[in-house]
Amino acid sequence: MSIVIIILCAISAVLAATMLFTKSPITSALCLLGVLIMTAGIYGLIGEHLIATIQLVVYAGAIMVLFVFSIMLLNLNTSDDDLKKKPAIFAIGLTLGLGVFSFLFYAIQEHYSNHQDNKVMGQFTPELIASLGGNSKVLAHALFSQFYVSFEVISLALLVALVAAVVLAKRKVN
């Protein structure tokens, strides 16, 4: 299973580098969608099925629809040969990205090798989560009691971004 996670991470890193260095907004959005799907796959493989489902439904579904809708409203021009124009910049970015990815992989590996005896981190133990009704109830309670202001601020920020995209697109048409 760990080799599959490594492959998903590598695909995600390549998609993220492509997303950053392409000038086409649709290509960037599709690469971001690929990164989000790979992340959901990683969550699923490590046993966090609820977070994988939320990743697919909320981010890969709803947020990407918002991005693509905004791109279509703005009617941005696309370029076919983005990376063909400056291969040196792409190579430098890819090298830096792989360096950062290697460092993060090393840091995570060291963290888990040093904390093998302490597998339960934080205030929620598996017994406490089971007594409270499961992962979904604990997550919903935390989201709508402790973090409800952050939840509402994010929803308002997305609404403002959508309205701004419509206003900018309307200005171009008139």
CATH of the domain at 52: 1.20.120.1200
Alpha helices for the chain (secondary structure H)? 2-21, 25-45, 49-54, 64-74, 82-85, 87-114, 126-132, 135-141, 148-173
Residue 133, pLDDT > 80, answer: yes
Mean pLDDT on 44-69: 81
How far, in whole angstroms, is CA 38 from its chain's centroid? 9
Paired tokens of 83: 């990376």
pLDDT of residue 13: 92
Look up the domain containing 63 and give its range: 2-173
Could you count the other beta carbons within 10 Å of the beta carbon of residue 93? 16
Number of domain units in the chain? 1
Whole-model pTM: value is 0.50
User: How large a percentage of the chain has pLDDT more than 90?
Assistant: 3
Mean pLDDT (the chain) is 76
